[in-house]
Structures are given as C-alpha cells and as structure tokens.
C-alpha cells in the first residue's frame, strides 16, 4: 500500500509546520542502521538521529528483541499502586549511571513532561521546607526546554519558538546567554551577570534550570564548564534548586555520558529523555536527590502531585534498559570521539563560505550557523537528492548522527552539507 501523501497534507499536523501551506514531507517506508528508506526505495543517511534519539541506529537487534519480549508479557499497567520489573531494572540502570546523589527517579512520558515534573518538584520542595516565597524560576537566554506551558516559560522569550504565548506564560527571569568558551575560565561578563541575577532574584527563586554545556534547539550554542561550576556555587549560597535539562545532551552526545560530568557538578534535579529508549518509543526520566524528595514530601500535600497515565510504561522501560545496557558496553566513547574528530575536519572548510557565520563542533554535534536563514524546503530537497537527511532550522544547519555511523557515511553527510551551503538558492531572500 502506498503512502497517502494527499491525506497527510490535508489532515496531519507536522512539527513547526503550517497546515495551510505545509513544507514538503518525504514518505518513509522503513529505517535500519543509519539509513531512512523512502517509499521510492532511496536510502537517506540520517544526520539527525531522529532529533537526537536514535543513538544506536534504527532496528538495533537488542532493542527490537527487548520490545518483542516485553510486549508478549505486558505492554502496560498503571503505575499507581502497582510496580513491575522493567521499571525496577531501568531504575537500577539510571541510578548506577548517574551521580550517587541522584537516587530518586520519576518516570514520565516525554522530555517536556520531565521538565514540567522538575519545575513542580522544585516549587513543591520550597513549600515543604517552609520557603513559600520562593516561587520564581531563572534560566539563561537561548535555551529550549520543550513545548508544554512550564517548559515554554523557560525557553528564550524573544528569539525562541514561543513568543506568541508570552502574555499567558509564567514569567521567568533570564540571564544573558553564557559567553564562557568550552575549556576556558569563567568570563568576566558571565561572572558579573550571574552575580547580578542572584543579587536581584536570589531570595525569591525556587530553581534555576539550564541545558548544561549545549543549548540545543534554542541555537546550538556551546559554553564552558566554568559557568556551571559558578552557577552551582550560587545556587547553594542562595538556597536555590539547580535543574539540568539533559534531554538532548544525555547518554554520550557531548563525549561524556552526561554533560554535567564536564564540570564535575551535580544538579539537584536531572531531566533525561530522547535517547533514553534509543529512539524506539517515548519515555523520559526526572532524577532528584534525597533532599529534594524529603522536601517535596514534607509539603502540605505529603506526596508529589503528578502522575501520568503512562508513567513507568513497561514496554518503554524494557527497551530503555536494553539501550542503557548497550551504552554500558562502552563503544559509544570511541564512536563519539571519532565522530567529533571527523566533523571538526570536514566541516571546517564551510567557515570560508560567504554566507557562513561560524562552524562549531562539540562531541557528536556539528553545527554550521549561517548569516541568513535557510529556505527549509529548498535545502531539504538538495539534501535528499544527495542521499542524506539533515533538517535545519533558521540559520542553523547541524548534524548529530547515530553513534554507529561509519566514516564513509559521515563523509557523505558532511560533503552534502558543504556542497549545499555553497549554493545561493538555499538561503532566504528576505
């Protein structure tokens, strides 16, 4: 049966796309390894890991086996008043992989929900320790934390995707985007901005939330560990919860298993998602310290007031455990290091292009920022014609491939990117 593109165009809403004048959609028949196969049989090397998630590639045999075994036993039961081995096994994996201080685990549906859970935990914690005046949240400009309401409130208010909702969102406080480069001491600008932010708002803050080291969809911006170290110190001094959103950076993407390891800084609350199941299905996790859990449960409610229907879904938990087991085999470290080296070498020539503002690489993330926004429909067509799948947004054309990609496949991606960005027709004219 052929894919009904007309029905798709008329009725299905795709991410960040108009329904009245939608961007073209390419019909996919299957996916395996690092390739997406279109309905007409053309294979595309996936440079996006399906938005950071398919780190082990498509149809990984261990993930598929875990899903098939679990679905024959139990696909879902409610988590209220019931527990099961898949959730327990995943909990053991995550608590073993993260810092020992992060030993309380909430399993939710998606990355945005993990952020909602983290913010609610911080607010309820402050009530539990009798600090009810701490109701505000601070973050940094250029961030992206999801598309639900609390998550939108801590995304960039001006240059992000959610300015349309500014009048109805809770008001967060925003620090300037960090200027400290990766591997460098804290810049004077960042030190002053942090000091000023906490001086102005420290007494009313419940939490600070940031994406450590890498700001993802808000601009693919990288910054140094020294910033996180100073942020941790100030949060401790002012009694503020520190939340790290590692939904995009977790599970090896930056060259460390978790980005916070670059700074040797542990948050009070950690959000995980995307690659948690190896991109097989949706699942997220919010980890917290004992102190957070005790504060939350000391509040008037006595319990944490959140409980998604599909919390702790056995099928997703079983696949996530298989994904964690693959990571614990350790191959990802060499794979990510090789990807980083190759991206650095092969994307560097793009910096000479007239329309390119900057090229930057960190771990298995390669970014080419252009001076003018690209025309997504035009540039996407050129990429598909060259047998690759790269999905840019705005002025950012980036690659974050599955870890098992080989050097020839990665070269096809980088060559397609550089060849396409050399064309004049891929940039918006106004």
Q: Tell me the catalytic residues.
A: 16, 144, 245, 274
277-296: b (≥16 Cβ within 10 Å) or e: bbbbebbbbbbbbeebbebb
CB-CB contact of 289 with 268 (8 Å): yes
How far apart CA 279 and CA 32 sit, in angstroms, is 12
How far apart CA 103 and CA 113 sit, in angstroms, is 19
Among all chains, which residue has been given the structure tokens 């699942």?
A: 283
Closest by alpha carbon to 239, among 206, 214, 200?
A: 206
Phi/psi for 399 (5° steps) reads: -130, 135
CB-CB contact of 140 with 155 (8 Å): no
The 3-state DSSP class for residue 241 equals strand
How far apart CA 391 and CA 398 sit, in angstroms, is 8
CB-CB contact of 119 with 150 (8 Å): yes
How far apart CA 88 and CA 98 sit, in angstroms, is 16
Among all chains, which residue has been given the structure tokens 């795709």?
A: 14
DSSP labels, 347-415: HGGGGGSTTEEEEEEETTEEEEEESS-B-HHHHHHHHHHTTEE---BTTEEEE---TT--HHHHHHHHH
Phi/psi for 239 (5° steps) reads: 70, 35
| Number of Cβ atoms within 10 Å of the Cβ of 131 | 17
How far apart CA 205 and CA 379 sit, in angstroms, is 43
DSSP labels, 152-173: HHTS-TTTSS-GGGTTTSPPPE
């Amino acid at each position: 049966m052929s894919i009904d593109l007309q029905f798709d165009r008329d009725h299905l809403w795709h991410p960040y796309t108009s329904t009245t004048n939608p961007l073209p959609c390419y019909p996919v028949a299957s996916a395996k390894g690092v390739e997406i196969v279109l309905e007409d049989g053309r294979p595309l090397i996936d440079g996006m890991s399906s938005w950071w998630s398919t780190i082990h590639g498509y149809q990984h045999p261990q993930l598929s086996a875990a899903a098939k075994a679990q679905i024959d036993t139990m696909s879902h039961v409610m988590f209220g008043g019931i527990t099961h081995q898949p959730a327990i096994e995943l909990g053991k994996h995550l608590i073993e992989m993260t810092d020992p201080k992060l030993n309380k685990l909430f399993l939710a549906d998606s990355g945005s929900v993990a952020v909602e859970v983290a913010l609610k935990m911080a607010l309820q914690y402050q009530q539990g320790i009798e600090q009810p005046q701490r109701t505000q949240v601070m973050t940094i400009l250029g961030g992206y934390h999801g598309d639900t309401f609390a998550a939108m409130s801590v995304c960039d208010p001006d240059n992000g995707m959610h300015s349309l909702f500014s009048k109805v969102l809770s008001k967060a406080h925003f620090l300037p985007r960090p200027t400290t480069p990766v591997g460098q001491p804290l810049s004077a600008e960042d030190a002053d901005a942090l000091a000023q932010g906490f001086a102005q708002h420290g007494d009313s803050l419940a939490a600070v939330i940031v994406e450590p080291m890498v700001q993802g969809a808000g601009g693919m911006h990288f910054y140094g560990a020294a910033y996180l170290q100073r942020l941790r110190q100030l949060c401790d001094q002012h009694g503020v919860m520190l939340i790290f959103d590692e939904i995009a950076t977790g599970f090896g993407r930056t060259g460390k298993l978790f980005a916070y390891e670059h700074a040797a800084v542990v948050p009070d609350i950690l959000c995980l998602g995307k690659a948690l199941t190896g991109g097989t299905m949706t699942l997220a996790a919010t980890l917290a310290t004992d102190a957070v859990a005790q504060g939350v449960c000391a509040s008037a409610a006595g319990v944490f007031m959140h409980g998604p229907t599909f919390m702790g879904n056995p099928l997703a938990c079983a696949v996530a455990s298989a994904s964690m087991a693959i990571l614990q085999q350790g191959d990802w470290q060499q794979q990510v290091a090789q990807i980083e080296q190759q991206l650095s070498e092969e994307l560097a020539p793009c910096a000479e292009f007239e329309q390119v503002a900057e090229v930057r690489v960190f771990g298995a993330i390669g970014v080419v920022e252009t001076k003018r926004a690209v025309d997504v429909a035009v540039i996407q067509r050129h990429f598909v014609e060259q047998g690759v799948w790269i999905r840019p947004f705005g002025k950012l054309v980036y690659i974050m491939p599955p870890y098992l990609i080989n050097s020839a496949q990665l070269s096809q991606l980088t060559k397609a990117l550089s060849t396409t960005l050399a064309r004049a027709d891929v940039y918006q004219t106004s």
